[in-house]
Amino acid sequence: MYVIAVYDVRAERTGKLLKLCRRYLTWIQNSVFEGEISPVRLKELKIEAKKLMVDEDSLIIFSSREPRWLQKDVIGHERNSTDNFF
């Protein structure tokens, strides 16, 4: 499945979330990740993220069973391209 993950956490926790998400997905923009991932690894990422987060923090994961159901359009500067997106 293909996912987009966006987190909004306090500054003191961004480093840990960044490191965690980078183990599973591709960083594309400030607090934004995308990539292909198995359901098992996605579950793992969520469990690990919960361990790092506190109540006020937020992680939203959009998932699509098929990458082709998602079109990506970058306006302006592409921080980190994932050319193998399609």
| Residue 4 to residue 24: CA distance in whole angstroms | 11
Query: Any binding-site annotation on 8?
Result: yes
| 22 touches a second copy (CB under 8 A) | no
Helix (H/G/I), strand (E/B), else coil: 6: strand
| Residue 18 to residue 61: CA distance in whole angstroms | 14
| 19 touches a second copy (CB under 8 A) | no
| 15 touches a second copy (CB under 8 A) | no
| 30 touches a second copy (CB under 8 A) | yes
| Residue 32 to residue 4: CA distance in whole angstroms | 7
| 12 touches a second copy (CB under 8 A) | no
| 18 touches a second copy (CB under 8 A) | no
What count of other Cβ atoms lies within 10 Å of the Cβ of residue 59?
Answer: 19
**Token pair for residue 22?**
């980078």
CB of 86 to a second copy, least distance (A): 12
Which residues here bind a second copy, judged by CB under 8 A? 4, 6, 8, 28-32, 34, 46, 49-50, 53-66, 69-79
